[in-house]
């Protein structure tokens, strides 16, 4: 049977028997009204010295005209101001004030504007109505162009849903600019974990509609007024997917996804999902086969679906989405495929941390190798089609697969997991799948020893035509470069082990918020480096990599004629990356995050015996405590304090929430031996480039020659410190400050 015919009969039989559901006016007029609003010429008012305060942000409308938008279902949700005004904001915490300083060289933003557009579901309309007298006014020229430019591409879909559902919320969104110049955006979203955001348009970007966050923080009295979270705002929580998908000989993709979810709010009109913009939706059905209206605008990546009356509060409901598209692309003239969006090939919840179980069935050409997340329950071949079923019984945050002209190599092992390496038939170096597979196997065993038992029973390692890697439960994608080129510095081993380590960090223990992303990437990066040190038995390569990362961190944007924008702290997570700080996510979250673990490791090491039991016990406890759940930086700090035996606020303040990196000047003198033949050593330490209260325990190594060593820690706090070492039995040949690269710092030796 022809491949495409079989796929059509297996995958799309229900879809082709249903008339494609077209968006109807009643359900989707809300979206048209919100994303293409118009000014109501009968509702205009003169404004003078009006103050609109929203949390930490204040809009002062000095003089001008304000025009209300046409109402939707009797509700006015937007207003346009033309005139003179000023926006001011001082972030409420030190981290965000310093972030504002990095962007604008000030801790208080004060931005003049001549155009302001606001949308709202809060008290804005009543405040305006109390203060102003509205009457007929002229229609504004160019309003549509302005709103399309600055509103359509930035408005949170949660706002449109709130309007459609006619529910009360405290949503407020403002776009303002001076003479239609560089716009800024201010949003208060009651469903976000940090409700207040100040944004700007990205710099040096051809796509002028992209925004980036400057500051983000909780509302004042957030705990007292918070009335919903991301799940409640979405209105549902996905519990289970049953997806049947087919890939044809021409690499066309088609699927139907049965989505089972719990309804969290009553009286909902629309719900929405994220779905790759490369996909087109054919139809959507409810659990009883009722056709549901849907809308997916071009390039939006958002699928809107009409709510069925059968969606009952606190009960599990179901809908089925039929869709197809070119999410799988083959490189011309090569054996490489790539999945445009590794986890956007199925309808996903608006909640990033929504976990669900998966039952996946794939129909794929027999000439291609295929693997997926989950346990492979069955595989059957019918003609030139392979049908495989994969089940993930434990809830997962996302799901992925890979397919290609692969050769398969199974790595023999007496203990789980069963490891299978899938690499392309051509282009790789000889036996690279064996070398990579052994690294995967050995690093997995090493991490189980260091961190604890991992629940993964099978692990697929697959090649992708990218320069990066990506990890899913039981499935890792590895860059083609790791199979093509060979490095001698340990970076290949590090790269592979990093992706394996995500089975513990990021998947086994998830991160609670974006602030805690370093618990995934920084931990995986240091785990990979630790594996390199152990597997290669080469401390030289280990410390070379640490020093390389240190040099990159210290020299970041150190330019010939000055210094560029300073990097943010680890606490900012993905926000470390911006249009003016490109590359900082990798540098700060991965590499500086790894350095933080290294500093903790060396802080806990026993300098007399060089045993690392405290560090390994700490890592095991952290993993076993939070495996299958999520953890925050504060959670990790508590476990660190337990094993360090002291408060660690100072350490986390300096290295997670702040950015200062010390420079030390170190010198010492050795006095003549005393009457007992012992030597006195006086050390002078200067600590530079950090706040006055900055402190670190720095190891000092005393080398007597002939392999005889002694080590001790020195607490350095303040600008200058002079210390006298305990009397030494022999004259030291050399004294090393910051032994074992124990502190991320610069050291200038004065001797």
pLDDT digits (tens, 9 = 90+) for 335-366: 777 888 888 999 999 988 899 999 999 999 99
Contact 67, 53 (CB under 8 A): no
Residue 145: which pLDDT band, with cuts at 50, 70 and 90? low
How many other CB atoms are there within 10 angstroms of residue 295's CB atom? 21
Structure tokens at 537: 């038995």
Is the pLDDT reported for residue 11 higher than 60? no
Is the pLDDT reported for residue 17 higher than 50? no
Contact 281, 322 (CB under 8 A): yes
Decide: residue 644, CB within 10 A, 0-12 exposed, 13-18 middle, 19+ buried.
middle
What is the pLDDT at residue 19? 34
- The per-residue b/e assignment along 66-99, b for 16 or more CB within 10 angstroms, e otherwise, is bbbbeebeeebbbbbbbbbbebebbbeeebbbbb
Is the pLDDT reported for residue 426 higher than 90? no
Contacting residues for 236 by C-beta, under 8 A, at least 6 apart: 261, 262, 263, 264, 265, 271, 311, 317, 349
Residue 434: which pLDDT band, with cuts at 50, 70 and 90? confident
Decide: residue 395, CB within 10 A, 0-12 exposed, 13-18 middle, 19+ buried.
middle
pLDDT, mean over the chain:
89
What does R_g of the chain's alpha carbons equal in angstroms? 30
Residue 149: which pLDDT band, with cuts at 50, 70 and 90? low
5: left (phi over 0), alpha (psi -120 to 50) or beta: alpha
Contact 556, 587 (CB under 8 A): yes
For residue 123, the Cα-to-chain-centroid distance in whole angstroms is 33
Q: By C-alpha distance, which of 260, 216, 229 is closest to 242?
A: 260
Structure tokens at 29: 């007029």
Contacting residues for 203 by C-beta, under 8 A, at least 6 apart: 579, 580
| pTM over the 0.75 mark | yes
Residue 10: which pLDDT band, with cuts at 50, 70 and 90? very low
Decide: residue 702, CB within 10 A, 0-12 exposed, 13-18 middle, 19+ buried.
buried
How many other CB atoms are there within 10 angstroms of residue 424's CB atom? 23
Task: Give the C-alpha separation, 491 to 477, whole Å.
Answer: 16
Q: By C-alpha distance, which of 434, 436, 551 is closest to 498?
A: 436
How many other CB atoms are there within 10 angstroms of residue 200's CB atom? 19
Is the pLDDT reported for residue 103 higher than 70? yes
Task: Give the C-alpha separation, 369 to 463, whole Å.
Answer: 12
Task: Give the C-alpha separation, 439 to 436, whole Å.
Answer: 5
Contact 183, 176 (CB under 8 A): yes
Is the pLDDT reported for residue 139 higher than 70? no
Structural domains for the chain? 36-228 (no CATH), 231-490 (2.60.40.1730), 527-657 (1.10.390.10), 663-749 (2.60.40.1840)
SS3 content of the chain, % helix, strand, coil (to 5): 30, 35, 35
Task: Give the C-alpha separation, 354 to 352, whole Å.
Answer: 6
Give DSSP secondary structure letters for 557-624: TEETTEE-PPP--GGGGGGG--TTSTTHIIIIIIIIHHHHHHHHHHHHS-TTT---HHHHHHHHHHHH
* Percent above pLDDT 90 for the chain: 68
| CA distances (Å), origin 363, targets 248, 258, 407 | 8, 17, 19
Look at 191-205, 517-531, 629-643, 726-740 and tell me which has the smallest mean pLDDT: 191-205
∠ CA 588-591-594, rounded to 5° = 115
| CA distances (Å), origin 483, targets 329, 423, 434, 466, 705 | 21, 8, 10, 12, 44
Look at 57-66, 178-187, 544-553 and tell me which has the smallest mean pLDDT: 178-187
Task: Give the C-alpha separation, 162 to 177, whole Å.
Answer: 26
What is the pLDDT at residue 222? 65
**Beta-strand pair 385-396/401-404:** unpaired
Structure tokens at 285: 């059905």
Give DSSP secondary structure letters for 105-124: S-SSEEEEEEEEEEEESSSH
What is the pLDDT at residue 224? 53
What is the pLDDT at residue 277? 92
How many other CB atoms are there within 10 angstroms of residue 549's CB atom? 20
Contact 618, 643 (CB under 8 A): yes
């Amino acid at each position: 049977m022809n491949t495409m015919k079989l796929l059509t009969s297996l995958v799309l039989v229900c879809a082709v028997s249903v008339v494609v559901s077209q968006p109807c006016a009643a359900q989707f007029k809300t979206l048209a009204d919100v994303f293409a609003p118009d000014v109501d010429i009968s509702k205009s008012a003169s404004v003078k010295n009006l103050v609109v305060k929203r949390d930490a942000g204040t809009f002062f409308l000095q003089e001008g005209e304000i025009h209300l938008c046409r109402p939707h279902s009797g509700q006015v949700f937007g207003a346009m101001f033309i005139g003179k005004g000023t926006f001011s904001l001082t972030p409420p915490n030190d981290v965000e004030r310093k972030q504002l300083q990095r962007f604008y060289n000030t801790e208080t933003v004060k931005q003049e504007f001549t155009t302001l557009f606001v949308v709202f579901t809060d008290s804005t309309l009543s405040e305006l109505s109390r203060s102003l007298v509205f009457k007929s006014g002229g229609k504004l020229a160019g309003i549509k162009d302005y709103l399309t430019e600055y509103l359509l591409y930035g408005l949170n879909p949660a706002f449109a849903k709130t309007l459609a559902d006619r529910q009360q919320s405290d949503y407020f969104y403002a776009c303002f600019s001076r003479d239609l110049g560089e716009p800024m955006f201010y949003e208060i979203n009651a469903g976000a974990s940090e409700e207040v955001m100040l944004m700007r348009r990205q710099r040096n970007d051809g796509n002028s509609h992209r925004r980036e966050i400057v500051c983000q923080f909780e509302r004042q009295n957030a705990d007292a007024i918070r009335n919903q979270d991301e799940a409640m705002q979405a209105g549902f929580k996905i519990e289970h997917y049953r997806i049947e998908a087919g890939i044809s000989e021409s690499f066309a993709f088609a699927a139907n996804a049965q989505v089972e979810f719990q309804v969290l709010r009553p009286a909902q009109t629309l719900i929405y999902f994220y779905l790759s913009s490369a996909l087109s939706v054919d139809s959507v059905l409810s659990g009883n086969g009722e056709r549901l209206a849907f809308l997916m605008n071009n390039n939006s990546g958002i699928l809107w679906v009409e709510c069925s009356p059968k969606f009952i509060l606190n009960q599990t409901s179901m809908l089925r989405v039929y869709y197809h598209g070119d999410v799988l692309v083959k490189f011309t003239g090569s054996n490489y495929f790539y999945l445009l969006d590794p986890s956007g090939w199925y309808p996903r919840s608006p909640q990033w941390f929504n976990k669900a179980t998966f039952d996946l069935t794939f129909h794929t050409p027999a000439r291609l190798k295929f693997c997926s997340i989950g346990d492979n329950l069955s595989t059957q071949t019918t003609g030139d089609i392979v049908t495989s079923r994969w089940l993930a019984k434990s809830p997962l945050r996302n799901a992925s697969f890979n397919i290609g002209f692969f050769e398969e190599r199974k790595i023999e092992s007496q203990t789980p997991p069963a490891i299978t390496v899938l690499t392309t038939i051509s282009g790789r170096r000889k036996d690279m799948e064996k070398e990579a597979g052994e690294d995967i196997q050995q690093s997995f065993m090493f991490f189980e020893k260091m961190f604890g038992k991992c629940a993964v029973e099978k692990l697929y390692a697959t090649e992708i035509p990218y320069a990066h890697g990506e990890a899913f439960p039981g499935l890792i994608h590895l860059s083609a470069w790791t199979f093509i080129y060979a490095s001698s510095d340990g970076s290949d081993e590090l790269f592979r082990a990093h992706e394996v380590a995500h089975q513990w960090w990021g998947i086994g223990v998830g991160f609670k918020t974006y602030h805690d992303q370093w618990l995934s990437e920084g931990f995986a990066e240091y785990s990979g480096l630790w594996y390199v040190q152990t597997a290669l038995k080469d401390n030289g390569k280990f410390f070379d990599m640490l020093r390389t990362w240190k040099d990159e961190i210290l020299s970041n944007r150190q330019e010939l004629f000055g210094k560029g924008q300073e990097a943010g702290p680890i606490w900012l997570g993905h926000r470390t990356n911006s249009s003016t700080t490109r590359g900082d996510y990798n540098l700060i979250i991965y590499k500086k995050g790894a350095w933080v673990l290294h500093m903790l490791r060396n802080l806990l090491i026993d300098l007399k015996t060089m045993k690392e039991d405290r560090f390994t016990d700490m890592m095991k406890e952290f993993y076993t405590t939070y495996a299958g759940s999520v953890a925050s930086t504060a959670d990790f700090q508590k476990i660190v304090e337990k094993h360090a035996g002291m408060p660690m606020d100072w350490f986390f303040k300096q290295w997670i929430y702040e950015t200062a990196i010390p420079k030390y000047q170190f010198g010492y003198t050795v006095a003549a031996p005393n009457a007992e033949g012992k030597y006195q050593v006086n050390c002078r330490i200067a600590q530079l480039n950090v706040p006055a209260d900055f402190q670190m325990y720095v190891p000092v190594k005393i080398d007597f020659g002939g392999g005889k060593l002694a080590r001790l820690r020195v607490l350095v706090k303040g600008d200058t410190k002079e210390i006298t070492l305990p009397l030494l039995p022999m004259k030291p040949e050399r004294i090393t400050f910051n032994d074992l690269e124990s502190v991320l710092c610069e050291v200038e030796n004065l001797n």
